[in-house]
Amino acid sequence: MTDQLDAAGRLRHLLTLDGLPAPMLQRLIERARTFVPPAAAAAPRGRELEGRTVANLFMEPSTRTRVSFELAARRLGADVVNIEGSAASTVKGETLLDTVYTLQAMRTDLFVIRTAESGAPAEVARRVADDVAVVSGGESHLSHPTQGLLDTLTILQRKPDLDRLVVCIVGDIAHSRVARSAAQALRTLGVRELRLVSPPELKPAPHEFPGATWDSGLDRMLVDADVIMALRIQKERMSATEIPGASAYREQYGINRTRLARARPDAIVMHPGPMNRGIEIESDVADGPQSVIWTQVANGVAVRMAVLLTLAGRSQAR
Ligand code: CP
């Protein structure tokens, strides 16, 4: 893996949360808190990235991540270009690296890359100029670091004592970069207990989630949970034989009000989006009082402002 840190131990790229030290995670999260506007207040804006250019290269579909990186960059004064896989010259045979070199020649300072190709963001990070940074906007099933940060921020806003929390992640763990990045951040920051629930065919390799417990029985795993995170079935990463039937999945793994009652009364419900309502989560839970799903979305902009400023900021930011 490309070293994400420079020789002085500062963040140089953000490709994964795996291995990042707790103080660095805490600094990013604390910085993100400064960009969370009070209720009903206007979105915070600054000029810190004026003269900088951020390129969003999204080779897989995205709504939340791409738009929030764009808003984050614009709210800090940067120029932004958006390249989407279906509309890029990669469909004419250009490699991702040549696309990066092309945009780098136009003085891009930071690339956000979403790709289904494992290792691609690290490869780009190895090849860009010394003063150019790379951020993963989601890499295959492996990593979604800014999602992990925004999920952790959302949990900490409601429940500051991670060392007392039981977090239960439910769904397609095997194919989920969201689960991996959340687990890495929560483990590093000292979560008390991490439970993983999935159908047996979507069970992750244990070494990818050290310290977590896995079970296929949702009802018993929800008991006394403080945080429930429902995941989408990642059909795009499965073979036809692996894909569970929607109604059977809903029956066994869907988060509904009856199931939610097994968790702690003040448990929060999360989902990274996009949601499949009526499959992994019922609408009355997604839109109910325990849901923090829209807070996750809002925090996404704040986290991405913090990350962009840390990596592309002119001053002491790195
Ligand atoms: N959570 C997430 O990554 O959503 P998008 O695919 O819409 O970016």
What DSSP assignment string belongs to 181-207?
HHHHHHHHTT-SEEEEE--GGGPPPGG
Are the beta carbons of 263 and 223 closer than 8 angstroms?
A: yes
- Stretch 104-119: mean pLDDT: 97
Distance from the CA of 8 to the center of ligand 1, in angstroms? 32
95: Cβ contacts below 8 Å, ≥ 6 apart: none
Using 50, 70 and 90 to split pLDDT, how confident is the model at 246?
confident
Where on the phi/psi map is residue 130: left (φ > 0), alpha (ψ -120 to 50), or beta? alpha
Q: What is the pLDDT of residue 2?
A: 55
Domain ranges of the chain: 22-143+298-312, 145-294
| pLDDT tens digits along 260-307 | 999 999 999 999 999 999 999 999 999 999 999 999 999 999 999 999
For the CA of 272, the closest atom of ligand 1 is 1
Q: Does domain 22-143+298-312 have CATH number 3.40.50.1370?
A: yes
Q: Whose CA is nearest to atom 3 of ligand 1?
A: 65
Both structure tokens of 290:
């325990």
Using 50, 70 and 90 to split pLDDT, how confident is the model at 314?
very low
| pLDDT tens digits along 119-132 | 999 999 999 999 99
Using 50, 70 and 90 to split pLDDT, how confident is the model at 237?
low
Q: What is the pLDDT of residue 75?
A: 97
Q: Is the pLDDT of residue 1 over 90?
A: no
Q: What is the pLDDT of residue 86?
A: 76
Q: What is the pLDDT of residue 224?
A: 97
One DSSP character per residue, the chain reads: ----B-TTS-B--BS-STT--HHHHHHHHHHHHTTSPPTTPPPP---TTTT-EEEEEESS--SHHHHHHHHHHHHTT-EEEEEEGGGSGGGGT--HHHHHHHHHHTT--EEEEEESSTTHHHHHHHHS-TT-EEEEEEETTTB-HHHHHHHHHHHHHH---GGG-EEEEES-GGG-HHHHHHHHHHHHTT-SEEEEE--GGGPPPGGGSTT-EEES-HHHHTTT-SEEEE----GGGS-GGGPPPHHHHHHHH-B-HHHHTTS-TT-EEE--S---BTTTB-HHHHTSTTB-HHHHHHHHHHHHHHHHHHHH-SSS--
Both structure tokens of 113:
């890359």
Distance from the CA of 316 to the center of ligand 1, in angstroms? 30
Can you name the CATH fold of 145-294?
A: Rossmann fold (3.40.50)
318/310 Cα distance (integer angstroms): 5
Distance from the CA of 60 to the center of ligand 1, in angstroms? 10
- Stretch 169-195: mean pLDDT: 97
Alpha carbon distances (Å) from 240 to 197, 200, 244, 301: 21, 16, 9, 35
Q: Whose CA is nearest to atom 1 of ligand 1?
A: 272
Judge if the beta carbon of residue 274 lies within 6 A of ligand 1.
yes
- Stretch 158-184: mean pLDDT: 97
| pLDDT tens digits along 56-92 | 999 999 999 999 999 999 999 999 999 998 777 777 7
Evaluate the omega torsion of the peptide bond into residue 274 and state whether it is cis, within 30 degrees of 0: yes
Distance from the CA of 274 to the center of ligand 1, in angstroms? 6
Distance from the CA of 318 to the center of ligand 1, in angstroms? 26
| pLDDT tens digits along 25-46 | 999 999 999 999 988 899 999 9
Q: What is the pLDDT of residue 82?
A: 96
Q: Whose CA is nearest to atom 5 of ligand 1?
A: 62
* Ligand 1, pocket-test mutation among 58, 59, 62, most atoms within 8 A of CB: 62
Judge if the beta carbon of residue 64 lies within 6 A of ligand 1.
yes
* Ligand 1, pocket-test mutation among 147, 294, 299, most atoms within 8 A of CB: 147
Distance from the CA of 80 to the center of ligand 1, in angstroms? 19
With a pLDDT cut of 90, the percent of the chain lying above it is 87
Q: What is the pLDDT of residue 317?
A: 39
Q: Do domains 22-143+298-312 and 145-294 have the same CATH topology?
A: yes
Q: Is the pLDDT of residue 242 over 80?
A: no
Both structure tokens of 246:
């929607």
* Ligand 1, pocket-test mutation among 56, 60, 64, 151, most atoms within 8 A of CB: 64
Using 50, 70 and 90 to split pLDDT, how confident is the model at 318?
very low
198/176 Cα distance (integer angstroms): 11
